[in-house]
Every structure is written in C-alpha cells, then in structure tokens.
Amino acid sequence: AINLQKVGIDNVTLEVRDGFDETAYGNETYQAIYIGASVSQVPEVLRQRLAVGGRLVTVLGSAPVKRAVLITREKDDTFSHKVLFDTNIPALIEGKHSLTTDAFVF
C-alpha cells in the first residue's frame, strides 16, 4: 500500500486473504485478484469472487513451463482466458500440500 501511495494511486484497496477459505469473503466481489504463486487450477471460490468485468492474474501449470494468465469474468457464467507469457515460479502451498504437480524428473 505504501508503494501505491508513493506513486499517487489512491483508488486501490489491498487485501490479503486465504483464497481457499470460502467463508472469508461473504458476498464480496472484486475487480482484480492476484494469486502470488503458481497453481494447477484457479480455485473456484476465487473465480466466483470476480465481479463481472473483473480480472484475475495467476500462473498456471507445472514445471518446467508454467503460463501467466489473465482471466476475465465476461458475464455471470462466462470467463475468458488469455496467456500472457511463459514462466516458472514456485507453487502455492496450502498447509503441507502443494497445489501443483511439479513432478518433472530427469
């Protein structure tokens, strides 16, 4: 939030939440959601938290190549997906279980 203030952005509210906890949201929807690690699939609870026109950015897939994607909620039941670039970042961990299948072995 401090970095946003430094560059004069004052119309953003940052929230850090457990994206898998369906009880953490109530009926709130968001214009933008960012998942800060890679996942094998976007949790449905987060897809449902997007407002119509809202965007979600995350990295999907498994090593060695994962893809940064932009998911936009076009209508109540319609989502578009756009691949932004290939990358490889660490997988999101929930408790002791990885949410991706990074099982690339030589």
Of residues 97 and 63, the one with the higher pLDDT is 63
Residue 65, CB-side half-sphere exposure with 13 Å CA sphere: 4
∠ at Cα 66 (52, 63), nearest 5°? 145
Q: What is the pTM of this model?
A: 0.76
Res 74 pLDDT > 60: yes
Span 58-82, average pLDDT:
94
Spatial contact of 75 and 52, defined as CB atoms under 8 Å apart: yes
Looking at residue 83, its pLDDT comes to: 96
Of residues 60 and 99, the one with the higher pLDDT is 60
Res 19 pLDDT > 80: no
Q: Which residue has the tokens 């756009």?
A: 82
Q: What gap in Å lies between CA 50 and CA 86, rounded to an integer?
A: 24
